[in-house]
């Protein structure tokens, strides 16, 4: 014959032991009287280690004052709900927990003990702190940060979004994101949502959006899918940056560059003919009347011829500089070794005259760059290395390359006179020369042309050098 009371106790005991929460009972003196499986997992003590022990073995020293207050409340028959505190595990580590403590009464209603339900909140608190930190970062960001559902409904809106678009958070949360999109741009939203649903990120997408007052602004959007804890995509996060001023400055810069390029091209092209005339008639004068001139006259005529020759070289280089403008990037790779050999052929006379050695270490890579541009880079840099040699010391020039995805880095090292570090940027400025033309001939355009070429390929050129210790010119271009 079954005992209903016994069966009920067995059932209650099973429920307590299967609970995910630590369930503990204690006397009004704070002595532990029961301890379930979750209490073992949470605090690290087996039941036999703690039953009969004071509950204070779980309480850190700086929290001991809490126990008398809790016991006083219990003796008055009061329940303590969701009391957040810190307790200590068997191994000494501290954990954040939430306590709910209820009085236990006997048949007459007298309070004889307490039941504690303890739930660890360490992860919850850590997540809460992280959430608050992220919220603070989002709200203090200079960029507009917006989240939306996969249906395009705005779900969050930071302070910078308010400043950028003119809407308060309460005006847009719950509204479709399309309130920001001009009619002629509405086709963009379905395409963006399709990319997000495939788990794709949209990086630096430049477009136009509309403010609350109707004005249009240029923005750059970075849009990332938001996933739930199972990895399912549930929405999107948008970071929007106002690029109106940058676009305006770029437009002005393009216009200024176009005017400058047109002027430089016209000037260099139109001046060629009269300059050629000066040069030719100077030669005629020297041939026909040179013997009739006194030494001072011959010197003056030679100055005239040299000046015309130098101006002709200057205009040729200026024309080359203006021609390095936006162009279609090549789809096929070229062999850098062939461009290097072509540059050496062009420099053959200078190499022989200075008894120079030009050495290539290893094989040069193939990359997507126009052959003439790479050949000109090699020719200008190697030519300078030969020209700026130390007096009486034959130039030695070494070229090498290495792959650093997505770029190739070329290095051209020499044993020449070197460059003071303070002038490492100056040497790439158009017409800027560190030496007179009497010391070292040139126009001050060679390295400016190199920089212009490299930058058109989204690359970079720089020099590492010290006076009297030679130079290493390096440039990177996409492979």
The pLDDT of 381-406, averaged and rounded, is 90
Residue 2 in this model has a pLDDT that exceeds 70: no
Of the chain, the percentage scoring pLDDT greater than 70 comes to: 82
Give the CA-trace dihedral at 68, 74, 80, 83, to 10 degrees. Answer: 20
Contact 32, 52 (CB under 8 A): yes
Sign, Cα dihedral of 456, 460, 466, 472: negative
Query: 52-56, 140-144, 298-302, 455-459 — which is least confidently predicted?
Result: 140-144
Lowest mean pLDDT among 31-35, 136-140, 451-455: 136-140
pLDDT in tens, 277-307: 878 888 888 888 888 888 888 888 888 877 7
Residue 349 pLDDT grade (very low, low, confident, very high; cuts 50, 70, 90): confident
E runs forming strands in 295-414: 334-335, 357-360, 366-367, 396-404, 407-414
Q: Per residue in 398-445, pLDDT tens? A: 999 998 878 899 999 999 999 888 888 888 876 666 666 556 565 567
Q: How far is CA 350 from CA 2, 312, 362, 469, in A?
A: 113, 19, 24, 22
pLDDT of 14 > 50? The answer is no
The answer to whether the CB of 449 falls within 8 A of the CB of 324 is yes
| CA nearest neighbour of 373 among 432, 316, 315, 329 | 329
Over residues 74-96, the mean pLDDT reads: 89
The pLDDT assigned to 114 comes to 86
The burial of 268, by beta-carbon neighbours within 10 Å (0-12 exposed, 13-18 middle, 19 or more buried), is given as: buried
Reported confidence tier of residue 264, pLDDT bands at 50, 70, 90: low
Lookup: tokens for 321: 């500089």
Report the C-alpha gap between 466 and 470 in whole angstroms: 7
User: Of 71-75, 174-178, 255-259, which has the strongest mean pLDDT?
Assistant: 174-178
Over residues 166-172, mean pLDDT: 92
Kindly report the pTM of this predicted structure.
0.44
Distance from the first to the final alpha carbon of the chain: 88
The predicted model gives 445-451 an average pLDDT of: 83
């Amino acid at each position: 014959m079954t005992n209903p009371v016994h069966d009920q106790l067995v059932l209650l005991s099973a429920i307590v032991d299967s609970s995910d929460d630590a369930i503990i009972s204690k006397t009004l003196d704070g002595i532990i009287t029961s301890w379930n499986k979750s209490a073992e997992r949470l605090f690290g003590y087996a039941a036999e280690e703690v039953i009969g022990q004071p509950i204070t073995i779980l309480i850190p020293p700086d929290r001991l004052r809490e126990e008398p207050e809790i016991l006083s409340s219990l003796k008055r028959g009061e329940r303590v709900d969701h009391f957040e505190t810190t307790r200590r595990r068997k191994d000494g580590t501290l954990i954040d927990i939430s306590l709910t403590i209820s009085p236990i009464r006997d048949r007459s209603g007298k309070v004889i003990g307490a039941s504690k339900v303890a739930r660890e909140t360490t992860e919850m608190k850590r997540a809460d702190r992280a959430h608050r930190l992220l919220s603070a970062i989002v709200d203090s960001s200079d960029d507009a940060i917006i989240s939306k559902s996969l249906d395009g409904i705005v779900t969050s809106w930071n302070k910078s979004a308010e400043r950028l678009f003119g809407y308060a958070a309460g005006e847009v949360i719950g509204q479709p994101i399309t309130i920001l999109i001009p009619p002629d741009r509405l086709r963009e939203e379905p395409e963006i949502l399709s990319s997000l649903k495939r788990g794709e990120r949209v990086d630096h997408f430049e477009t136009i959006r509309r403010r609350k007052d109707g004005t249009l602004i240029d923005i750059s959007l970075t849009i990332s899918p938001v996933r739930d804890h199972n990895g399912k995509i549930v929405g999107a996060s948008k970071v929007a940056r106002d690029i109106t001023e940058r676009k305006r400055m770029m437009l002005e810069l393009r216009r200024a560059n176009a005017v400058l390029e047109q002027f430089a091209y016209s000037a260099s092209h139109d001046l060629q003919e009269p300059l050629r005339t000066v040069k030719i008639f100077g030669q005629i004068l020297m041939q026909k009347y040179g013997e009739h001139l006194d030494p001072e006259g011959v010197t003056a005529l030679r100055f005239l011829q040299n000046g015309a020759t130098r101006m002709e070289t200057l205009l040729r280089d200026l024309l080359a500089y203006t021609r390095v403008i936006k162009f279609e990037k090549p789809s096929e790779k070229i062999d850098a070794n062939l461009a290097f050999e072509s540059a050496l052929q062009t420099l053959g006379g200078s190499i022989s005259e200075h008894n120079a050695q030009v050495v290539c270490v290893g094989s040069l890579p193939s990359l997507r760059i126009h052959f003439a541009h790479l050949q000109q880079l090699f020719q200008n840099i190697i030519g300078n290395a030969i020209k700026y040699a130390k007096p009486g010391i034959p130039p030695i020039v070494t070229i090498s390359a290495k792959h650093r995805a997505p770029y190739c880095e070329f290095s051209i090292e020499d044993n020449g006179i070197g460059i003071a570090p303070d002038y490492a940027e100056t040497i790439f400025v158009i017409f800027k020369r560190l030496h007179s033309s009497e010391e070292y001939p040139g126009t001050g355009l060679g390295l400016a042309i190199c920089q212009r070429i490299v930058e058109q390929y989204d690359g970079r050129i720089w020099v590492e050098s010290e006076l009297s210790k030679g130079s290493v010119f390096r440039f990177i271009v996409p492979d």
